[in-house]
Structure 1
Amino acid sequence: MKKNRVGFGGAIALALSLLGATPSQAAEQVRLRFGPFEQTVKISEIETYAKTGELSPNLQLFGVFLTPEVRKGLNAKLAIDPKTSGAVVGKLLQSPAGQQLMTNVQSAAPGLTPELLQAGVSLAVQQIGGLDAIGVAKAIPTRTITIDLSQAAALGSKINLSYWKSQALGTLLEKSLVVEGSPVNFNSAIDPTAPGPIAYSKLSYTLADRARNDRPLPVDVFLSSKPSPQTPTVVISPGFEASRNFLGYLGQHLASHGINVIVVEHPTVIPMFRLTSVDLEKLLPAQELLDRPKDLQFVMNELGQESMLKGKLNLNQVVIAGHSMGGYDALALAGGELNFDELRQFCNRSRMISRSPADWLQCSGKTIKERILNLRDNRVVGVIALNPVAGRIFGSSGLSQVKTPVLMLTSTDDGLTPTFDQQLQPFMQLPQPKYLLTAIAATHLSVSDRLNVGQTLVKERTGQEMEPLRAAVRGTTLAFVKQFTAEAQTYRPYLTPAYVQSRSTPEIPLRLSSDLPPSITRLLNMAGMF
């Protein structure tokens, strides 16, 4: 029965709390079905169970479903502003994923129409200032709610909770991070998104780390013709199985503004790591979690000795820019503490099907013997983490040890590294100074060079409509790196909420913040609600 432990509370807490909005008469009882068995129980009996853990005679037949996880889901309350609940629910239900979720919920709760679910959520928000499963159930305008427990359990196994939490957050982030007031006029002489006036050259190397079985590391160096000796070198680390062309446009952009850039390509690991079973935790060999940051250190060491580059690269001060797994590399080298104890706890207690792809990659590290590990490299002075894989491996406090400023990108429609678990919760751990660039409706690969995107695991938005995001990344990345130079004040306006918002389009609203508002932090602190 272990696979079906989502049960009544988990499925209802999930389904009813994610869907929502406006009613009249309230539900009083629930009809529970499981195969040939059926029992009607009062909602007050379920409420008593949630508070005390005691099962009424009517509930005892279904005791196998009412696990501690279900009780936790029943008791969890999500504080939400009634003014924004309608917009959040509306956007969810209009999306194709929302319609599919509604279909699945209706299979578990036959008789509940979208209108009834919306009505229940809306009234619950008005009555109790938030959402919880029992509050929503009470508010649904029908006397009896029927729940098919076998379908409810199956529903729980189909849903990527991280993705849905992130979907619900998108509208909240867009509204709560908006900058009010008149548009700000920026220095028209500078457009940080446009190519700079400085010529640059591109050099390519293939390095091999003899200490690690001649591990091959192809590298591109974008060498500016007019670099400042004090300007940090930017080292770019692409994601899992991505080529160094993935963010090549960013390297070229920075070089045209006088910043030297090194782009590293990590070895392909899937062909040489044979899967003997369908084990998603083995997509990434555990050692890669340690080898990838070492790749960047090795490249810095080697290029520092390269005769053609002597005196041209400032490798005593480095900004690491990474996408996805590359974002993990950057945060680790900046001092983020790897917590393998907490990682093992998460991976051992969570179900494979409920994890995001980012979780699969991180859970590969549960076999690493160390408990706590710090890979800090003192040469790293800043981090640009784009859609980073960061939600599990640093534990609940590892990122508080980061020693550098951080610019982080999160995309609300990212199905691979969901914003809720992989960026927003990690962002809360980071010390100041820090910046969160939020791209509403963007996906995991939206930031990539669209000419270098191959076959994808999920549907991605990488076309011309994503150019405003790529432009914002070019501009904020340049402004961020310039903060380590004598031009810091000149570029400071381009690292502000007003500037980033000015780059928005109706399709891709953009926001920048150094702190999350209370409405968002409350939601993040409720991460264990399901």
Structure 2
Amino acid sequence: MQLAATPVIAAEKVTLKLGGFESAIAISQLEQFAKTGTLPPQLQLYSAFLTPQVRKVLNNRLQIDPKRADGYIKELSSSPYGKQLLKYLGVAIPELTLPQLQAAVSLAAQQANGVSVVNLIKAYPQENIVIDATAAIALAVKFNPSYLQSQAVGSSLADKLAVTSSTEFKPSFDPTILGKAKVIEQTVVFQDRKRDRNLPVDIYYPQQNSLLSALRPTPLVVISPGLRADRKFFSYLARHLASHGLTVAALEHPDRTVSPNSLLPATEFVNRPKDISFLLDQLSKLNQQPGALHGKLYTEKVSIIGHSLGGYTALAVAGGELNLQQLRQACKGVNPLAQAPADWLQCGAATLIDSKVELQDKRIKNAIALNPVVGQLFGENGLSKINIPVLVLASTDDAITPVLNHQLRPFTQLGAQKYLVTAIGGTHLSVGNPNSQALTDTGVIKERRGAEAQPLRQLISGVSLAFINQLTPNAQIYQTFLTPAYAQSLSTPNLPLRLSTELPPSVITQP
């Protein structure tokens, strides 16, 4: 169906319904509230709902290229989050149709400063728009510009990062299947008395045999989970790597309570990277002691894998430099209700006292950051300080760490050898252990997990093994699994998978 680019008429008034009450107001009065915060008499009935936070949401602007407005709604409506967003819109504005929404977005996108809730209402192609105020307020707090922008790049990434080949990808072996070594698991708890932190660690290592002995020493792998996730979050990955002869230490950071009204303590952005350095110090000592782990903990050549806040941790110890000045500027007046969780979570670091925080640990020789929290933590060039290989995972339906601000744009800063794995349709927790207690659905978007996300977990198992083995004499053997063709070979129609070393300029320059 061909949709009109602009409406013949535009809305002049809004009929607000709240319970049994109904009030008609001019859109100019709603616009006055958005601009000044002053409530006209007709809006006094809704004063309990029209808070400063709601006013800020009304003024949030989503930058949409007018030429891409039609495609934007099409892409958005085909995504899981977009479908749910349109469902909420249908409840808040019962008479709204998809063609009307398309026409309103097309007209609003022509505004110089982007699409806001207010100018979207003004562009509605009817003289009167009826809004259920209660449902609209619930919708407003879900109007999340950074996530909506990230949603729009999904299909274009699938196309632009695809590779064509006349031959099927047929490797000589499959890095996604378990290796031949029997895996032994041991739990150790280290106590950092100086910082009053207890660190439980699960150590996975292969049972010794003559072949593995000949390959020693192999890199030590450290796994840092995200906020509220435990050390079992990547147990499948730890066992996989250990079965191929690697020793893996999966730690659990002390948990801290976080809510929309209470940011993560600033100290956590320092403590988590320091947990890694403390752990390596303790493992180095343990490596010298008699016992099953003697000689198995090569702490001078370490690969780190981190997810979410653990992804930030991995980038920090890899050499990424925090830019607190830029972060503080970005976090001025931040409203948790109008942000993706990672967009306001990062602001906890803005109160750090030291202007220059040294977090790098030079024992880290390469880093894997899965769905990392990045945003403005490292500023515009803090990640360019990293001079070791880095692999980043971005999931396009990630509502926690939206891909544009937390993975794609930060990826372009990296100057050393780098790889980007993109899961088109993957969510924040898709890569984790499907049996993990941390895998709970959010109220906004359903996480893709279980069997539907298995291809992504397989890819991460194979790519991680290949990436870590670049630090070993087996580097050449595994190089073939760090190619676009390999990632695409594991794709499914519902979960396209891509691997690249660069991003198309059109993605990088999205507003």
Q: Same fold (TM over 0.5)?
A: yes
Aligned to 1:234: 221
C-alpha contact 1:27 1:139 (8 A) present in aligned 2: no
Q: Structure 2 CA distance, aligned partners of 1:93 and 1:116? A: 21
Aligned to 1:173: 157
Aligned to 1:383: 367
Q: Deviations over 1:478-525 (max 9, x none)?
A: 1111112222221111111111011011221111111111221121xx
Higher helix share: 1
CA deviation after TM superposition for structure 1 residue 294, in Å: 1.0
Matched, 1:450 2:434: yes
Aligned to 1:218: 200
User: How does 1:175-214 map onto structure 2 within 5 Å?
Assistant: 175-187=159-171, 189-213=172-196
Q: Structure 1 CA distance, aligned partners of 2:357 and 2:308? A: 20
Distance 1:74 1:380, change over 3 A: closer
Aligned to 1:416: 400
Other structure's SS at 1:295 match: helix
CA deviation after TM superposition for structure 1 residue 80, in Å: 5.9
C-alpha contact 1:281 1:360 (8 A) present in aligned 2: no
Aligned to 1:300: 280
C-alpha contact 2:93 2:132 (8 A) present in aligned 1: no
Matched, 1:259 2:259: no
Aligned to 1:357: 341
CA deviation after TM superposition for structure 1 residue 407, in Å: 0.8
Distance 1:24 1:245, change over 3 A: closer
TM-score (norm 1): 0.78
Other structure's SS at 2:153 match: helix
Aligned to 1:343: 327
C-alpha contact 1:30 1:147 (8 A) present in aligned 2: no
TM-score (norm 2): 0.81
CA deviation after TM superposition for structure 1 residue 242, in Å: 1.5
User: How does 1:433-472 map onto structure 2 within 5 Å?
Assistant: 433-454=417-438, 456=440, 458=442, 459-472=446-459
Aligned to 2:495: 508
Q: Deviations over 1:427-481 (max 9, x none)?
A: 2222242111111222211111112234625132221221111100001101111
C-alpha contact 1:157 1:353 (8 A) present in aligned 2: yes
CA deviation after TM superposition for structure 1 residue 329, in Å: 0.8
CA deviation after TM superposition for structure 1 residue 78, in Å: 2.5
Q: Deviations over 1:175-233 (max 9, x none)?
A: 2222123343322x3101011123342222111112223x2111122223316335321
Q: Structure 1 CA distance, aligned partners of 2:199 and 2:451? A: 31
Distance 1:77 1:443, change over 3 A: closer
Matched, 1:477 2:464: yes
Q: Deviations over 1:111-151 (max 9, x none)?
A: 652112235657999xx9x99549x9899795757597989
C-alpha contact 2:6 2:106 (8 A) present in aligned 1: no
- CA RMSD between the two structures: 3.6
Q: Structure 2 CA distance, aligned partners of 1:21 and 1:485? A: 57
Q: Deviations over 1:84-113 (max 9, x none)?
A: 657514414895423234326737xxx652
Q: Structure 1 CA distance, aligned partners of 2:251 and 2:62? A: 47
Q: Deviations over 1:141-183 (max 9, x none)?
A: 9575759798988854442222222222222222222212334
CA deviation after TM superposition for structure 1 residue 297, in Å: 0.8
Q: Deviations over 1:333-387 (max 9, x none)?
A: 0111112222222222221211222234322222211223231111111111111
CA deviation after TM superposition for structure 1 residue 295, in Å: 1.0
Other structure's SS at 1:281 match: coil
Q: Counterpart amino acid of 1:305? A: K
Q: Structure 2 CA distance, aligned partners of 1:315 and 1:365? A: 29
User: How does 1:363-402 map onto structure 2 within 5 Å?
Assistant: 363-402=347-386
Match 1:517 to one of 485, 491, 504: 504
Aligned to 1:54: none
Aligned to 1:8: none
Distance 1:420 1:79, change over 3 A: farther
Q: Counterpart amino acid of 2:502? A: D
Other structure's SS at 1:373 match: coil
Q: Structure 2 CA distance, aligned partners of 1:181 and 1:119? A: 40
C-alpha contact 1:318 1:381 (8 A) present in aligned 2: yes
Q: Structure 2 CA distance, aligned partners of 1:79 and 1:231? A: 53
The gaps in structure 1 that reach 5 residues or longer are 1-19, 41-58
CA deviation after TM superposition for structure 1 residue 253, in Å: 0.8
Aligned length: 471
Q: Structure 1 CA distance, aligned partners of 2:294 and 2:419? A: 33
Aligned to 1:65: 34
The gaps in structure 2 that reach 5 residues or longer are 17-22, 37-54
Q: Counterpart amino acid of 1:303? A: L
Q: Structure 2 CA distance, aligned partners of 1:120 and 1:415? A: 25
Q: Counterpart amino acid of 1:202? A: E
Q: Structure 1 CA distance, aligned partners of 2:87 and 2:73? A: 19
Q: Deviations over 1:280-313 (max 9, x none)?
A: 334x332121111111111111111111334322
Other structure's SS at 2:269 match: helix
Q: Structure 2 CA distance, aligned partners of 1:268 and 1:75? A: 34
